[in-house]
Amino acid sequence: MSSNTLKEFNTIIKDSSSVDVLFGFCYPSTYRAGMTGLALHIFYTLLNAREDTSCERYFRFDTLSPTLSVESKRPLRNNHVIGFSLTYEEDIIHLIQMLDSGNVPVRAEDRSGEDSIVIVGGPVVTANPEPFVDFVDAFVVGEGDLVIHEIVDCAKSGNSRKEVLTELAELRGVYVPAIPKSKVERNIIHNLDSLDYPVAQIIPNVVEGSRLEPVFGKSFLLEVTRGCGHSCRFCLIGHVCQPRRTRSLNKLKDLVRIGTENTPVEKVSMVGSSLGDLDALEDLVCWTVSQNLGVSVPSLRADSVTESLLKCLVQGGQRTLTIAPETGSPELRRSVGKGLEDSDIECAVETAAQAGYNSLKLYFITGLPGETDDDIKASVDMIVKLSKTSGMRVTASVNPFIPKAQTRWEREAQPPLDELRRKLKIVEKGVKGRSKVTIESLDPRNARIQAALSVGDRSLGPVIQTAAKYGGYGGWRRAEKETGISFLSVANDAERLQNELPWEFLRK
């Protein structure tokens, strides 16, 4: 389906000639993924609430064109500011492709005069923007809803591109590579209740199962918490989105009431990490169900699951329990910092089966620092045991370890490709013939790309730009050859593991 036929509720179309600032909000991947993220709804609402600004959306895939807005077909390059939300490192390729096909100079140094200001935000660049500096005028480091109005004010008041960038560089939480600072402080909101929240969210008018349907279905996204109170050694969110903050129960109920009056949905999807830590979660879920609304929650920590919570979730239509043991080995799980025992996981799954759940999604990581083959076999044993004892259908997502900037494992190497493949095979072989078990995995080659972009530095610019011309894994190999820059081995480069890290200036 293209945006020719795409119908949506709650879109906002303004007369471009009656506003001062045209803002293009871009998601460098599919419409479905972009519409599932809360960032799009937050910025769309905040920006369009301003009388002086018109914000329209662009997606790399699935709409009429990546360079014509969904709302009014406004050409990408007509925007004064183009803002990207970068959720996954490898989407930098799509970001470059969108700029290129929209006739916006790809390299920041080639932009001048009337060219749009290109801004990128999200956890990836909050942790390490350096590999992307060639393509971006300004990065938002930390929580963008705290600084978005100041960014628009700069775009409106600056008399020249240089003046706008100079003003942007002075803002807390904004990093302008052309105007380096010795220190960039991250913006963090302390009181979530005080933030404006999107209560009239855009919903595509598509049938269930359509590829344009958001991942959680047509639902009102309710941000319950931000950040995480844990800090598992590998986890980006657990490190760059600290501390965990929570909306009050009264505020959350108000948002559900007002949100479902203004958004044509019958379901609430709760958003936040480690939601089970929240004392009021059961109250919130059961109250939401009592309002005749469906409800879904993301992955829960196994030690936070209670029978009454799960029963309410079943009443609200949730039938899949999602847990992330990370590994079947209790010792390795301790080393990861997960703080979960086997008994917590077994107990949560048993409780879910009794409450009426019929499927289980488990997340594991292979190639963790210090992992042995016995640890992998322990993961297989856990998958098999949980499938047998619960009788539920089990999907185990087994993904390679990816070292991420600013985590406690930022200096750890990623095992070689062959090793990652071999480890994955142990898992696949271990569950072979079990009809109720499915294994899903990120291709280790993609994990390689993601790792290089996570911990790389600004020398990667040319290889990224060249890879964007070709696409796919083969494109990265070809780009390595053409530029002479080793890219795919960045994450296990021995020197990298010793040197000063490129993102040190972000955590001073």
- List of residues contacting ligand SF4 (CB under 6 A): 228, 230-232, 235, 237-238, 273-274
Beta bridge partners of 364: 326, 398
**52 close to 20: Cβ distance less than 8 angstroms:** yes
Question: Which residue's CB is nearer to ligand SF4, number 28 or number 122?
Answer: 122
**392 close to 358: Cβ distance less than 8 angstroms:** yes
CA 293, chain centre distance (Å): 26
Amino acid letter at 118?
A: V
As a whole number of angstroms, the distance between CA 220 and CA 235 comes to 27
**204 close to 7: Cβ distance less than 8 angstroms:** yes
Least distance in angstroms from the C-beta of 239 to ligand SF4: 8
Least distance in angstroms from the C-beta of 353 to ligand SF4: 23
Least distance in angstroms from the C-beta of 102 to ligand SF4: 35
2 to 56, 84, 197, 206: CA distances (angstroms):
16, 21, 29, 12
As a whole number of angstroms, the distance between CA 104 and CA 84 comes to 14
In this structure, what DSSP letter does residue 304 have? Answer: G
Q: Which two tokens stand for residue 151?
A: 């960014």
Which has the closest alpha carbon to 479: 93, 132, 120, 177? 93
Question: Which residue's CB is nearer to ligand SF4, number 169 or number 324?
Answer: 324
Q: 434 CB contacts (<8 Å, ≥6 apart)?
A: 384, 387
Question: Which residue's CB is nearer to ligand SF4, number 242 or number 459?
Answer: 242
Which has the closest alpha carbon to 244: 225, 260, 263? 225
Cα distance between the two ends of the chain: 47
Question: Which residue's CB is nearer to ligand SF4, number 298 or number 475?
Answer: 298
As a whole number of angstroms, the distance between CA 192 and CA 231 comes to 20
Which alpha helices (H) appear in 241-280, and where do they start and end? 249-262
Least distance in angstroms from the C-beta of 238 to ligand SF4: 2
Least distance in angstroms from the C-beta of 273 to ligand SF4: 4
> Which residue, chain included where needed, has tokens 């917590």?
344
Which alpha helices (H) appear in 391-443, and where do they start and end? 417-430
Question: H or E stretch including 437?
Answer: strand 437-440
Question: Which residue's CB is nearer to ligand SF4, number 123 or number 294?
Answer: 123
Question: Which residue's CB is nearer to ligand SF4, number 230 or number 385?
Answer: 230
As a whole number of angstroms, the distance between CA 251 and CA 278 comes to 14
As a whole number of angstroms, the distance between CA 155 and CA 157 comes to 6
Least distance in angstroms from the C-beta of 367 to ligand SF4: 16
CA dihedral (117, 61, 48, 258) in degrees, to 10, reads: -150
Least distance in angstroms from the C-beta of 105 to ligand SF4: 37
Least distance in angstroms from the C-beta of 13 to ligand SF4: 37
Least distance in angstroms from the C-beta of 277 to ligand SF4: 8
Amino acid letter at 341?
A: E
Question: Which residue's CB is nearer to ligand SF4, number 270 or number 468?
Answer: 270
Question: Which residue's CB is nearer to ligand SF4, number 300 or number 352?
Answer: 300
Q: Indicate the residue whose CB is closest to ligand SF4.
A: 238
Question: Which residue's CB is nearer to ligand SF4, number 232 or number 413?
Answer: 232
Question: Which residue's CB is nearer to ligand SF4, number 176 or number 300?
Answer: 300
Least distance in angstroms from the C-beta of 209 to ligand SF4: 29
Q: What are phi and psi of 440, to 5 degrees?
A: -115, 150
Question: Which residue's CB is nearer to ligand SF4, number 105 or number 337?
Answer: 337
Least distance in angstroms from the C-beta of 293 to ligand SF4: 26
As a whole number of angstroms, the distance between CA 140 and CA 137 comes to 10
Question: Which residue's CB is nearer to ligand SF4, number 237 or number 353?
Answer: 237
**128 close to 455: Cβ distance less than 8 angstroms:** yes
Least distance in angstroms from the C-beta of 271 to ligand SF4: 12
